[in-house]
Amino acid sequence: MRFLTSVKHLLPGVRILPPSTPLPPSTISTYPVLNPSTNQVLCLIDRQDDWGSDVDVSRVTRSAVDKAMSVGESFKRTTSLDRANILSLWASEIRSNSLALATIMTLESGKPLTESLSEVEYGASFLSYYSGSCYRTSGLNGGHIIPSPFPDPSGYSRGTLMSYNEPVGVCGMITPWNFPLAMLTRKVAPALAAGCTSVLKPSEHTPLTAIAVRELGRRAGVEDGIFEVLPFGEGGSRGFGDAICTNDDVKKVSFTGSTRVGKELQSKAAGGGVVKRMSLELGGNAPFVVFEDADMDRAVDAAVKSKFRNAGQTCVCSDRFLIAKSRMDEFVERFKKEAEELKVGDGMEEGTNLGPLITGQAAANVERKVRECKSGEIVTGGKRIVGNFFSPTIIVGMGLEEEVWREENFGPVACVRSFSDEDEALGVIKMSRTGLASYFLTKDVGRIFRFGRELPNGLVGVNEGIISTAHAPFGGIGESGIGREGSGEGIEEYLEKKYMMINH
């Protein structure tokens, strides 16, 4: 197991080279990142073997937590201005290296370069947003004076009641490969704004993006111990989870990934050291409902965006399409036409809409679910094209018992059924235990409020297929997790409230 463990010379306007390049094992080699159109070297990466299977995960993690702990003592005393400056400089570093970072992401994960570029901006937006939070009362040292209910013979209420915020302490974080930059900044930006130090393990599939972001953070003043990235391989994931969940110095665990692993961490943390705060951003299986009065241009556009973004490998991707009976044929015909126009291919090539799925196993899993779906009709796609590339697929009229309908498919597969009325649609949606994103299209204002409020989801898009932003709370209900990221809610996850009663 080998890793590319450091990104050097990340130059402004620069970018990275295909991971398929053969490199001699057991060496530290320099790995150039090239601009594909000019062949200009954009940055250099060192490839080392020391994050391999023989790494003592528990020792390395312990030592990173120790460092975060000791640095945390002084870091929590920094001013709001200091932390705001770091975050805002870090955002600028990321924005000025957008092409380099986007290229790393595309080469690591396969997503089209245009999507990687959007993710760079999305990721930077969390740093910018939380640099502003440093100054708000919700930030570290912010708080409230509470009107006192205690009577006093003087006629004034007795005492001053105050609540103020303190950082929770050292945080252990784990992020996935599908948004290797934005999922990282969505955690570390509020943590840093709150005065917490953090130790993060990125996905084994996308360590370079995390390392590059860390490197840019250094330039912005994120000193050693404030935020560390430990790029363990697959064999190190469980060990890292154990190490953070059972270490008394880690006061908060923040995880983004599958529901299975999220629950595993929750139970480990419960049985391990001190009681820990937990944020779990887990899987979805988003419903997408088109009512009879929907604007069909909008519906098709939103369906394509919310289904095929990142080749369907997004926790908020629509999976379960419910279409009003009277609009079913029209929707399927137009959605199919759009899906067939999407170009599947190399993410570095211009015009590519969908890259490969992350691994052969992921592609085989999607292929199996489609093959095992015995009811319904595949109206387009349904095949693994080559390697990990899967064709945009639409299946119509499958039974509710099919796995491809019931479970998040994390691939470019849209499952479409019709429905008769709101109650039926809601009943079908509520059959799932997940509750992350949901979408519906209608022009009826009453229905927007009625149906929107009834949906068992943390995120609701009305007449829109892409709704994520640093400014709004992101998170799920039920099997989709606990806690919120982004917005003013996001920083609360990293703050303890202290109440002080001062008797005059």
Ligand X SMILES: NC(=O)c1ccc[n+]([C@@H]2O[C@H](COP(=O)([O-])OP(=O)(O)OC[C@H]3O[C@@H](n4cnc5c(N)ncnc54)[C@H](O)[C@@H]3O)[C@@H](O)[C@H]2O)c1
In this chain, which stretch among 156-164, 201-209, 294-302, 364-372 interacts with ligand X, using CB under 6 A? Answer: 201-209
Which listed option, ligand O=CCCC(=O)O, ligand X, none, makes contact with residue 241 (CB within 5 to 8 Å by class)?
ligand X
- Tell me the C-alpha distance between 428 and 338, whole Å: 26
> Any contact of residue 314 with ligand O=CCCC(=O)O (CB under 6 A)?
yes
Spatial contact of 254 and 285, defined as CB atoms under 8 Å apart = no
User: Burial of 318 by CB count in 10 Å (0-12 exposed, 13-18 middle, 19+ buried)?
Assistant: buried
Dump the DSSP string for 101-119.
HHHHHHHHH---HHHHHHH
Q: How many helices (H) and strands (E) does the chain have?
A: 15, 23
DSSP letter (8 states) at residue 381: -
The span of 43-51, 148-156, 310-318, 331-339 binding ligand O=CCCC(=O)O (CB under 6 A) equals: 310-318
Please, which of residues 265-284 interact with ligand X by CB under 6 A?
Answer: 281-284
Tell me the longest C-alpha to C-alpha distance in the chain. 83
Structure tokens at 165: 């915020």
Helix (H) or strand (E) segment spanning residue 384: strand 384-386
238: CB partners within 8 A, 6+ apart: none
Q: Which residues is 46 bridged to in the sheet? A: 6, 30
Binding segment (CB under 6 A) for ligand O=CCCC(=O)O, from list 26-34, 311-319, 324-332, 414-422: 311-319
Of 33, 265, 316, 404, the residue at the interface with ligand O=CCCC(=O)O (CB under 6 A) is 316
What pairing do the DSSP bridges indicate for beta strands 393-396 and 227-229?
unpaired
Residue 435 bridge partners (DSSP)? 477
Q: Are 279 and 255 in contact (CB under 8 A)?
A: yes
**Which residues participate in catalysis according to the annotation?**
281
Among 140, 132, 139, 121, smallest CA distance to 87 is for 132
Tell me: does residue 315 bind ligand O=CCCC(=O)O (CB under 6 A).
yes
Q: Binding to ligand X by residue 167, rule CB under 6 A?
A: no
From the list ligand O=CCCC(=O)O, ligand X, none, which binds 468 (C-beta under 5 to 8 Å, kind-based)?
ligand O=CCCC(=O)O
Q: How near is the Cβ of 147 to ligand X at its closest, in Å?
A: 38
Using the minimum distance from each CB to ligand O=CCCC(=O)O, give the nearer residue, 316 or 441: 316
Q: How far is the CB of 315 from ligand O=CCCC(=O)O (least distance, A)?
A: 4
Contact call for residues 66 and 178 (beta carbons, < 8 A): no
> Shortest CA distance to 413 belongs to which of 371, 455, 374, 442?
371
Q: Determine, following the binding rule CB under 6 A, whether residue 468 of this chain makes contact with ligand X.
A: no
Segment lying near ligand O=CCCC(=O)O (by CB under 6 A), choices 38-46, 85-93, 296-304, 314-322: 314-322
246 binding ligand X? (CB under 6 A): no
CA distance 57 to 283: 26
Residue 282 touches which member of ligand O=CCCC(=O)O, ligand X, none, C-beta under 5-8 Å by kind: ligand X
* Contact with ligand X (CB under 6 A) among 237, 246, 365, 463: 237
Applying CB under 6 A, the span of 300-308, 312-320, 365-373, 379-387 interacting with ligand O=CCCC(=O)O comes to: 312-320
The neighbouring-strand residues paired with 287 are 320
Considering only 98, 468, 480, 487, the residue that binds ligand O=CCCC(=O)O (CB under 6 A) is 468
Q: Site for ligand O=CCCC(=O)O (CB under 6 A): how many residues?
A: 7
| 279 in contact with ligand O=CCCC(=O)O (CB under 6 A) | no
Residue in the structure block whose two tokens are 């990934």: 257
Q: Please return the burial class of 88, using the count of CB atoms within 10 Å of its CB with bins 0-12, 13-18 and 19+.
A: middle
For ligand O=CCCC(=O)O, the binding residues (CB under 6 A) are: 178-179, 314-316, 468, 474
Would you tell me which residues interact with ligand X (CB under 6 A)? 174-179, 183, 201, 203-204, 237-238, 241, 256-258, 261, 264, 281-284, 315, 408, 410, 436, 476, 481
